[in-house]
Structure 1
């Protein structure tokens, strides 16, 4: 089912792009054959419309805006069609109003303990600015929280299933992709058992990510089992509002308010290597236990209020019921298109890179960089920081891989080390810096995560989990092939041309 879903997603996007270019060519032929006398005037009018559309982009993030400007001005007919499908803010103002209201309710619940901040500033003055930035965006930092890092999806699901089976009060699960198979079936049976024991279960899934499984039969079965389920941002409600953007890409499980999971994994068999799609699937995840879990509880309920249209759900009803003494700090955060152009997902990554002194290690499946992020990485490397990035050797989307490769050159010229994971597909989304801090979450280094999707992650400081993340990165390097500038520059001319064209289309990918 996961393979079918991925193919459907790719076909749908390819067909849409194909239609756009067909319209472009058809209109040009029509003008040339039937309206030759007026073709220049009509094409000029199309360019005027394109320019007007370009002005509508002025409030978007700079790199995202510039990519769309190039597309629209170079191919006005196809560019306009693609922009109105994927580029513009299609969520109506009423929707954003509700989202802001829910966000405000969430932020009122997330209060900062000043003593934690003071302690952090004494112990880690070099990394205070990262935490300060996230606090300014409304996300408190916590102590008294234990973090456990998992280096593959199999480990995550084993631990999560055990915690689900031990749940006493409630279970919240928010995921982008759900597919039939062992992972989902095991979780579904465990959830059903907990409902029978009186545990409250809420499930929140993205509509696009569950396109194949989200049928009337599926929804009826969830209801029969006593599971509350909501679908986020339906894409088919009516064709005039269909959008492929603004997907809920977050992965969150919260159990009893005391335990939370997040990471790159979805609820599908490929994430645990029960099925093989692109070689070995290398993912990662993290488990929090303690006070810091409350932020993830609030993140879930924030989206639940929107999807369920139930504004009576109160964050305070689901507070943690434990207190532990644990060293270190955790700072969960989230982002989404309603926060553009100042999205915390990109902001956290940018500040991690710019504040690194010794090294910055990144794992990501998609290296679709905007100009700002590229300059941050090259600037760090040119300043003597050891910058290493692991990306997949075996890719899930050939066109994204082509854009990945197109970005290698500028990075390697500046001294960035790029490695391709040879056993398969690396899907982990981690950033580690200076043995002092790290981020683990759902955030890819691409336009979608930084500008278009709802994402989440957790910033870690002074925790053993950071050592585990670094050890996993270095161990993974042993299974990677380092890219070199000479070989990259000698790649076939056809690849260079294709990569250049696809790079222009980066916002669509």
Structure 2
């Protein structure tokens, strides 16, 4: 009964937010109509301004602006209002200036050991350029870090619970989605016990992703338990923008600075296949132990300060306490809309594609790419690189799946191999190339991850996890159906029409 009451409160909040957004649209539309009818000269000025805006967007050179070009052209005044509320860049806003200040502070605590970078360059001159790119954006390369790869959420949660129980100093958790259920209840009980033991516990979660749980009762419970929490970008503070844009999609757990996790797994029961939503939920994560955990810790601290807006933390308190001598390199990385148009993670993916010599494999729940990345994938395939992408057969969002399928065409035509995971929904976000390097993180291959959300992941090389990711993808392919170009061309006509229409909205899906 208590769980039902909490879910009812979450549903009420979600409905309230939906109504608020709908009212905002209605008011904006009515304002545009009234201007057209009673202020024709002002309406004409806005139309001219809209045409000028289209020219600016066309010259911007970024594909994801195409949606707004269409909206402004089709709905001259209403579309213009929508763009200024929800579409324009805010790179000079107070929010983004604060983000850049926090990142600048974090850079003081992240120094690259030049010997480590040189060791990597000697081993892989080709792939070392990827690491140098990430270093340029403030993400050092680390050695002395043990990496464990988890091919399903059940394994990740088992390991995470064991690490949480052993925490002595602090626990940091950062997730896009928290949802009531066994996973969250088990973690919450451990966190409450650790607070009683004197462990510092911080929880950072996204307001939109955790919309159903983030009620007054939930926040009161966290406060009573002594769990310090921060809500990223509260929806009631963002009524002037689309609430599902500019979200914190990162997934990070850090225990005592010595152990860290990231990947695609949120704190909800479906991620551990405790409940079934879309068949078998296939997801992945990595566990770092040693020096490289500092990369994840600093990302968390930066996002915490950014979210809080006023807290000034002493980063040195949270450094790793020991190294784990072992082979390999790791490079935790992060990204967000404040970096547009230079996006570290998108550029890292592009570099991996262009530098692959033998093969490059991806898993992603959504395949909504800009033309440049499509061209890069096609060029790699035409050059003889074995390019494979796994997407879901059972989807969570039908409209995104329709766009995903519509994007298969040029890729298949140029030799990219696409597989759909038949047992259920593949939510894993991984990439691996040439047995030499891999990525595991929160990054989907879509506009939202590359341009509109805050994301994180780990670039890794020369450790066992690289081959574990490769083997897992090859094993997963056995449970997939390969999609051929002929199959794709034979889609029903009505499906092609729907997909063509939805592709116009790709940048905001």
Q: 2:125 maps to what in 1?
A: 125
Q: 1:241–1:389: structure 2 CA closer, same or farther, 3 Å change rule?
A: closer
SS in structure 2 at match of 1:76: coil
Q: 1:131–1:11: structure 2 CA closer, same or farther, 3 Å change rule?
A: farther
Q: Offset of 1:445 from its aligned partner? A: 0.8
Q: 1:29–1:86: structure 2 CA closer, same or farther, 3 Å change rule?
A: closer
Q: 1:249 maps to what in 2?
A: 249
Output one character per residue of 1:175-210: Cα deviation in whole Å (capped at 9) or x when no partner.
111000001000000111111111100011111111
Q: Offset of 1:30 from its aligned partner? A: 11
Gaps of 5+ in 1: none
RMSD: 2.9
Q: 1:198–1:464: structure 2 CA closer, same or farther, 3 Å change rule?
A: same
Determine if the alignment matches structure 1 residue 158 to structure 2 residue 158: yes
d(CA) in 2 for partners of 1:480, 1:22? 47
Q: Offset of 1:82 from its aligned partner? A: 4.1
SS in structure 1 at match of 2:445: coil
SS in structure 2 at match of 1:65: helix
Q: 1:298 maps to what in 2?
A: 298
SS in structure 1 at match of 2:105: helix
Aligned partners of 1:90 and 1:241 also within 8 Å:
no
Aligned partners of 1:112 and 1:141 also within 8 Å:
yes
SS in structure 1 at match of 2:108: helix
Aligned partners of 1:176 and 1:251 also within 8 Å:
yes
d(CA) in 1 for partners of 2:166, 2:485? 52
Q: 1:143 maps to what in 2?
A: 143
Count of aligned pairs: 504
Q: 1:287 maps to what in 2?
A: 287
Output one character per residue of 1:71-117: Cα deviation in whole Å (capped at 9) or x when no partner.
32233345335434532235872222221111001111100001101
Q: 1:322 maps to what in 2?
A: 322
Q: Offset of 1:465 from its aligned partner? A: 0.4
Determine if the alignment matches structure 1 residue 364 to structure 2 residue 364: yes
TM-score by length of 1: 0.92
Determine if the alignment matches structure 1 residue 214 to structure 2 residue 214: yes
Q: Offset of 1:47 from its aligned partner? A: 3.5
d(CA) in 2 for partners of 1:399, 1:502? 7
Output one character per residue of 1:463-502: Cα deviation in whole Å (capped at 9) or x when no partner.
1001110111011001111111112112122111111111
d(CA) in 1 for partners of 2:482, 2:489? 15
Q: 2:230 maps to what in 1?
A: 230
SS in structure 1 at match of 2:205: strand
Determine if the alignment matches structure 1 residue 170 to structure 2 residue 170: yes
d(CA) in 2 for partners of 1:122, 1:70? 49
SS in structure 2 at match of 1:389: strand
Aligned partners of 2:278 and 2:394 also within 8 Å:
yes
d(CA) in 1 for partners of 2:455, 2:303? 11
SS in structure 2 at match of 1:109: coil
d(CA) in 2 for partners of 1:70, 1:126? 41
Q: Offset of 1:354 from its aligned partner? A: 0.7
Q: 1:171–1:61: structure 2 CA closer, same or farther, 3 Å change rule?
A: farther
Q: Offset of 1:239 from its aligned partner? A: 3.6
Q: 1:449–1:171: structure 2 CA closer, same or farther, 3 Å change rule?
A: same
Q: 1:180 maps to what in 2?
A: 180
More deviation, 93-102/7-16: 7-16
Aligned partners of 1:331 and 1:458 also within 8 Å:
yes
More deviation, 49-58/449-458: 49-58
Determine if the alignment matches structure 1 residue 452 to structure 2 residue 452: yes
Output one character per residue of 1:241-265: Cα deviation in whole Å (capped at 9) or x when no partner.
6643210000000000000000001
SS in structure 2 at match of 1:148: strand
Q: 2:198 maps to what in 1?
A: 198
Determine if the alignment matches structure 1 residue 335 to structure 2 residue 325: no
Q: 1:238–1:159: structure 2 CA closer, same or farther, 3 Å change rule?
A: closer
d(CA) in 1 for partners of 2:100, 2:58? 22
Q: Offset of 1:59 from its aligned partner? A: 8.6
Output one character per residue of 1:5-43: Cα deviation in whole Å (capped at 9) or x when no partner.
799979978996898699779978997xx79xx98x887
TM-score by length of 2: 0.92
d(CA) in 1 for partners of 2:236, 2:167? 35
Aligned partners of 1:23 and 1:77 also within 8 Å:
no
Output one character per residue of 1:398-439: Cα deviation in whole Å (capped at 9) or x when no partner.
110110011011100000011111111110000100000000
d(CA) in 2 for partners of 1:447, 1:146? 32
Gaps of 5+ in 2: none
d(CA) in 2 for partners of 1:44, 1:494? 38
d(CA) in 1 for partners of 2:238, 2:277? 33
Q: 2:469 maps to what in 1?
A: 469
